[in-house]
């Protein structure tokens, strides 16, 4: 009879550990599209309940690629109901310039895109390395329900500097 409490505690601990692993997961980044914010080889913690808690502009999120299902990581630059465009390397949301100190504007000088309306229930995502990133400019807005995580912490960074 003494083993029942031990088994109950073991099951409880296993459930808590399994729950944490499915809510917060360490992930190794395999793409440079978010440089210099998140670099290839970085280890980040992803919160898988982020979409349920609400997503906002500036959040760095993960989701399966619309092209091949590979896990992608990008920054939300606009949400449903907003309008996005790029005019000579400057991101405009609802016609207003967005400060983006992490984007190398010189590398995309002369780039124009949009304007595009972001449908309700979706987010428009872009990589911080705008010159090399394949993002919502190519595959369109991402449905919120397809966002499977939000970056919450960088455990280890391989970014220079």
Q: In this structure, what are the phi and psi dihedrals at residue 79, rounded to the nearest 5 degrees?
A: -120, 170
Q: Is 33 a catalytic residue?
A: yes
DSSP-assigned beta bridge partners for residue 77: none
Helix (H) or strand (E) holding 14, with range, is helix 3-23
For residue 109, how many C-alpha atoms fall within 13 Å in the half-sphere facing its CB?
2
Of 144, 97, 99, the residue nearest 125 (C-alpha): 144
Which of the residues 31, 33, 133, 136 is marked catalytic?
33
**Residues 140, 125: contact at Cβ < 8 Å?**
no
- CA–CA separation, 91 and 95 (whole Å): 9
Placement of tokens 């872009």 in the chain: 126
Placement of tokens 């207003």 in the chain: 96
* Cα four-point dihedral sign 130, 132, 134, 137: positive
The catalytic residue positions are 33
């Amino acid at each position: 009879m003494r083993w029942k409490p031990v088994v109950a505690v073991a099951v409880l601990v296993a459930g808590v550990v399994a729950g944490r692993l499915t809510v917060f997961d360490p992930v190794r980044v395999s793409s440079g599209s978010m440089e210099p914010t998140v670099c290839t080889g970085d280890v980040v913690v992803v919160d898988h309940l982020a979409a349920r808690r609400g997503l906002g502009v500036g959040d760095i999120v993960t989701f399966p690629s619309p092209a091949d299902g590979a896990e992608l990581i990008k920054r939300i630059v606009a949400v449903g109901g907003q309008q996005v465009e790029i005019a000579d390397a400057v991101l405009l949301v609802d016609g207003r310039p967005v400060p983006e100190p992490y984007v190398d504007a010189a590398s995309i000088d002369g780039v124009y895109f949009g304007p595009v309306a972001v449908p309700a229930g979706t987010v428009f995502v872009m990589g911080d390395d705008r010159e090399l990133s394949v993002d919502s400019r190519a595959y369109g807005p991402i449905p919120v329900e397809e966002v499977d995580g939000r970056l919450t912490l960088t455990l280890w960074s391989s970014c220079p500097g």
